[in-house]
Structure 1
Amino acid sequence: MESDRAKVRFFEERAADWEEACYPRDVRARLEELIPSFGIRPGETVLDVGTGPGVLMPYIQKVQGPVGRLVAFDLAWAMAKEAARKPRRPRDGVLRADVHALPFPDGLFDRVLCFAAFPHFADPAAAVKEMHRVLRRGGVLVIAHLLSREELARHHASHGEVRRDVLPPEPAMRALLGRTGFLVVELVDRPGRYLARAVKTGRPGSAAMNGHFLRGHG
């Protein structure tokens, strides 16, 4: 669809300056306060969904420690290329991929983080199904923003390409996660924070590994 292509162009064109423009020092401080709520544990295998220029990567790696594994991806090539410039450990990876058809085997990840990305998915139900599939049983999905649902809607309204990209109301989000096989353990929606945490309880589907990994700093 042309609207989807326009949205990808929106992010492609802004990739080089995204991190500097969107994450100044005060926003970084708020992000650092948010990270502990993700519940990442040392040694976990984590998927960073819609990583953009890799904003979360150093924070995740710090908590994981030397034996953890981080895989980050974005639909926009330019964003994924920016993320690939971030320092990585030998087992980490960055690739260009689509959340609606993830190129990973079932049950690979302990934790899936979807930060500042969920409203941009063309098909939220398909995206949630795929994130569920690649989580191990008992693994955790985290959907998070540094804005509330209302604040995010106002923010996106000022940009034509993403003006319709909003988070579902709480009942709809709970229903979406529940029917996919998640148990919602926390849903916070207040000024300056949106956080949904859900544990995988249902069965995964299946898919093959076919992503495009990008090379960068090791």
Structure 2
Amino acid sequence: MLQPQDKRLALQAYEQILDLIQSKRAQPGEIVTERRLAEMLDMSRTPIRDALLMLEGEGLLIRRGTRGLQVKQIRIEDFMDALQIRSLLEPAMARMAAGRIPAGDLDSLRNQLQTLAAGGENDRMSVREVDERLHEMIARAAGNPQLEQIIRTVRRQTQMFDLRSMPERLGDTCAEHIAIVDAIASGNAEASAKAMADHLSAVRRAIVARLTGG
């Protein structure tokens, strides 16, 4: 298991490699390797390796045997399909988790989200860390390891459309997450499911608006 410092270094490497992909400096079909990226980003190979595994899990890189990992052609349809799966499964998981997460853990998350929202700064890495912590808590509390793994995999496929591409979503993202936290803390299963469904619907609308220029 990654230690906090190791995880942060891996996330920093992830951010930089993702930027290479999104900016098309790493073209679809291009082979990327740990050694080359470590030299380019002036980082050790360990966080690079962890970042590449994350990007492979999100479907942005495809393993090509001993040649390394290849940048995948990004298809918007894939992301929308993954988001539809999340919309079907995650409200059910939130329903199962209602009332089953320690109040202290939820209070800590709420305080972090309120601080991020009040600051108004697009600290994408901090928001992502809080987002992952919330969803991991919900998944564990739901008590279904197979469902947890499915959702973790599908979530990775939609994380490209987060605050990097939609910085205007910072305030809304924090507010939606706080609503999920409050609903779960109340123990109201249906309110928890609705808060999660509302959040995912808002994400989908924002993606559609961004893609269509609306």
Q: TM-score scaled by structure 1?
A: 0.24
Bigger helix share: 2
Decide which structure has the larger Cα Rg and report it. 2
Bigger strand share: 1
Q: TM-score scaled by structure 2?
A: 0.24
Between the two structures, name the one with larger relative contact order (CA 8 Å, sep ≥ 6): 2
